[in-house]
Amino acid sequence: CPGLTAEVFGRKEYLYYQEIDSTNSQAKALASKGYPEGTLVVADMQTAGRGRRGRSWYSPGSQGIYMSIILRPVLPLKEISRISLLVAVAVAETLAEELNLPACIKWPNDILIDNKKIAGILSEVVTDMDGIEYIVVGIGLNINNQPQDFPSDFRTPATSAMAEDRCLVSRVKVLQGLLARLESHYLDLLAGRFAGTLEKGKSLSVVIGQELKLDTINGVLQGQAVDIDDHGFLLLRDQSGIIHTIMSGEITILS
Ligand code: BTN
């Protein structure tokens, strides 16, 4: 990928497709064949882009960034939420620093501008007996989409860089900036330096301090988000004052 400033991400193995079903599915297939850390899969269009919770991701040709990267961190499984947070921080920083857009993080995986979703992250983890075998981090960014073209989804209104900025944006430039930031936060994590990323994640969070409804695998919780801890987990105080440590879930902001 010409012009990349990242040292590893997208440097060794870079696969570009004009059209593919899903970059995450393709990256998972490559990872299972042994493709190395930093392998980057990018598509101009996805015919079956996947979102979280079995949803689809709207992926029209030449408009968004649809990318997946293979990571092979030697980390305990409980550190997985740190990776989610660092990816969200890298995406939000890229939008802010490359395009001057005030992007925020709706923990754990949504990037919003003014309460509208501009990007989503789908991390898929495969484990083996030793812990994490690999993670495929998939990122979908709405860049040159017209907001009226988005399929209607009453849950989260969508936006794009062009809709916010009103001019055509270079997807290559955004992708390069994103890979450099992803790599830098990831190398910091591996080197035991997560504090800066965590502080950035907290400062960009739209959920801390808010009253939330949270759908988790263990049921629905309601309360106030009070913090994000050192593992990247959300701390939620319920009505009886009990603090719950949440690893993942689907948030509805009530206040
Ligand atoms: C979400 O918000 O639900 C997550 C959306 C993730 C979409 C990206 S687009 C690139 C990669 N390939 C996929 O099939 N999904 C992710």
- Residue 178 burial (C-beta neighbours within 10 Å; 0-12, 13-18, 19+): buried
Measured in Å, residue 56 CA sits from the centre of ligand 1 at: 8
pLDDT of 189 over the 90 cut = yes
Nearest residue by C-alpha to atom 16 in ligand 1:
138
Q: What is the pLDDT of residues 43-93, one digit of tens each?
A: 999 999 999 989 999 999 999 999 999 999 998 888 899 999 999 999 999
pLDDT band at 150 (very low <50, low <70, confident <90, very high): confident
Ligand 1 nearest atom to the CA of residue 25, by list position:
14
CA 168 vs CA 54, 62, 211, 222, 240: distances in Å: 31, 12, 37, 41, 50
The ipTM, to two decimals, is 0.99
- Residue of 17, 41, 47, 66 best suited for mutating to test ligand 1, as the one with most atoms within 8 Å of CB: 66
Burial of 128 (0-12, 13-18, 19+ CB in 10 A): exposed
pLDDT band with cut points at 50, 70 and 90 for residue 12: confident
- 61 CA from centroid of ligand 1 (Å): 15
pLDDT of the residue at 153: 63
- From the CB of 108, is ligand 1 less than 6 Å away? no
Ligand 1 atom closest to 27 (CA): 12
Q: Is the CB of 52 under 6 A from ligand 1?
A: yes
Residue bearing the bigger pLDDT, 130 or 243: 243
- Residue 124 pLDDT exceeds 80: yes
pLDDT of residue 147: 75
Among 58, 105, 122, say which to mutate for ligand 1: greatest number of ligand atoms within 8 Å of CB.
Answer: 122
In the chain, the domains with their CATH numbers are 14-204 (3.30.930.10), 211-253 (2.30.30.100)
Does 8 score more than 80 pLDDT? no
Find out whether the beta carbon of 27 lies less than 6 Å from any atom of ligand 1: no
Phi and psi dihedrals of 202, rounded to 5?
-65, -40
pLDDT band at 130 (very low <50, low <70, confident <90, very high): confident
Per-residue pLDDT band for 165 (boundaries 50, 70, 90) equals confident
Q: In the structure, what pLDDT confidence band is assigned to residue 217 with cuts at 50, 70 and 90?
A: confident
CA distance linking residue 226 with residue 234, whole number of Å: 8
Q: What is the pLDDT of residues 94-106, one digit of tens each?
A: 999 999 999 999 9
Please say if the pLDDT value at position 1 is more than 60: no
Question: Directed axis angle between helix 195-204 and helix 80-99, to 10°?
Answer: 60
Mean pLDDT of 178-184: 96
* Cα separation, 118 vs 141, whole angstroms: 6
Mean pLDDT across the chain: 92
CA distances from 34 to 31, 38, 39, 70, 133 (A): 5, 12, 10, 10, 10
Residue stretches of the annotated binding site for biotin: 22-24, 46, 50-52, 117
> Helix 80-99 to helix 171-190 angle, to the nearest 10 degrees?
140
Question: Which pLDDT score is estimated for 11?
Answer: 76
Residue 78 per-residue DSSP state: G
Residue 125 has pLDDT above 70, yes or no: yes
Annotated binding site: 22-24, 46, 50-52, 117
CA of 200 to the centre of ligand 1 (A): 23
- pLDDT score, position 219: 86
* CA 164–ligand 1 middle distance (angstroms): 21
DSSP 156-199: S-B--HHHHH-S---HHHHHHHHHHHHHHHHHHHHTT--HHHHH
Count Cα neighbours of 108 within 13 Å in the Cβ-side half-sphere.
25
- Tokens matching residue 8: 């590893």
What's the rounded mean pLDDT across residues 109-120?
95
Looking at the CA of residue 59, tell me the nearest atom of ligand 1.
9
pTM: 0.95
